[in-house]
Chains A and B, each alone.
Chain A
Amino acid sequence: MSKIKAAILGSGNIGTDLMYKILKKDGNIELSLVAGIDPESEGLQRAREAKVETSHEGIKDILADPDIKIVFDATSAKAHMHTAEQLSEAGKMAIDLTPAAIGPYLVPPVNLNEHIEAENVNMVSCAGQATTPLVYAVSRVVPVHYAEMIATVASRAIGPGTRQNVDEFTRTTANSLEKVGGAKTARAIPVFNPAEPPITMANTVYTVIKEKDFDVDAIKKSINDIIYDVADYVPGYRLKSEPIIDYRDTPWGRLPVVVIMNEVEGEGDFFPQYAGNLDIMTASARKVGDLYANHFLQKKGVRQ
């Protein structure tokens, strides 16, 4: 079976976990290179141990190989601002795991087909990947006037980048709940909890419904369907309990709120299992890469 060659740019924690995920379940992708900047970095050492070709010259070797069609960028937003253009000129598809968001937000079970011809897609944020499908599950049944999500993650699973820019995290996630999830307006609030042993990522989604009549069972079914879709590529993605309808005082009157409680346990590939927030980023990126690779293979098939 032919495969599409892909590379990971960035040999930090995210890049390393992504590498293990692709090696474990490569599907339509052949991981041909992991590129970093420090030959002694743990990520590049691990890549060499896993018999994956490595480079410590950043993007250079990726650009030099015309066979690499898909590049996962796990560096930083600032770095991606530069590399996005280089990758585009080289005709490579970029899957951006940084907050740069040059390309459209991509949340696999929601909007993949809309952007199947995109040359750069963004993986939003961990909380965005986890909760956008849940908001979408409600909004495809009944209009969501306002969505709010609270993401509780273990303090240890939050890196310095997010800590120094919580603004960016909240903005990006709320944007995704609106643009991709379909909420009219949205808020996103992170909570970093230092409990020991570390807690597993837990998300609560509130969606405010203004409609007088709506089908509660249809909403619950839609939520269950989307959980099933996400769990296909993030096995530890599940509901903590059945969604409930709670009436709350809102600026729009006393209205029904669908409360969805979700938990994301990681696969423990490189990150500890409680770090479902990091795991869902890499698992989603792998899934997106695989779907694009499949799309490329089909296009090739048509041409042949």
Chain B
Amino acid sequence: MSMDMKVSLVPKKQKYFYILFFLSMVLLYAFSLFQLKLSYGSGFESVRKAFGFILRMFHFNFTDWQDILYAALESLSGAVLATIISAILAFLISFLAATNVSAKGLPIFIKGLCASIRAVPTLVWALIFVAYIGLGPFAGVLGLCFHSFAYLVKAFSQSIEEVNAGSLEAMKATGASWLQTMARGVVPTIKTSIISWTALRFEINIAQSSILGLVGAGGIGHELSLYMRMFDFEKAGFVLMVILFMSFSVEMIFNKLKINVDINKF
């Protein structure tokens, strides 16, 4: 055996795939950049202006703090409410959407419906509700509910489908009705995953609720777009601080809860 034998770090076939992938990404990138026809002429000046504006944001202006904090509370409670409503509805519907406990044909219909609701972003749903109901947090909460409902139905019905078929069989054999099988056989098994899916969705809803206002669906996002349109960067800076504080604290609380709460006690 020669001493200068080379050991390849990556399998040959994999290596060619990587090279192909990187080449096509580079080509796609160059093509996209070319097609976008961005104007680079004023780029430097714009970047300088952007930094100027962002620096001005750090001179927080607290004068409207009551309005801003109330809007933040509105966003927060919108997210909580949307999570509660959609979790309850999705919990009820998910039994019909799980292939192992539902009637034939029904799961495909419900899952298809939910997939098409999910394919449309939350913000577009909010925009549709704003067009129907008018400006305000009500439209935002409904938009959030719609998307979270479809999301949670998928998550919950997946958890139900993972329930051991043997234990369902055993319950049926003792003469338990459908409702009894669900209540004693399925619910105790999926309880933990339902709570963690709902918690996950709650985090998403908090993030979404702060931007709903940008399309006119109320909450703290409305204040942000209001002050930015008036070029009132000092107040907008304070709004951004509130948004950051909200999302940071939710993240921290949830990291804590996942460790401390005994979910089985619930």
Is B one of A's binding partners?
A: no
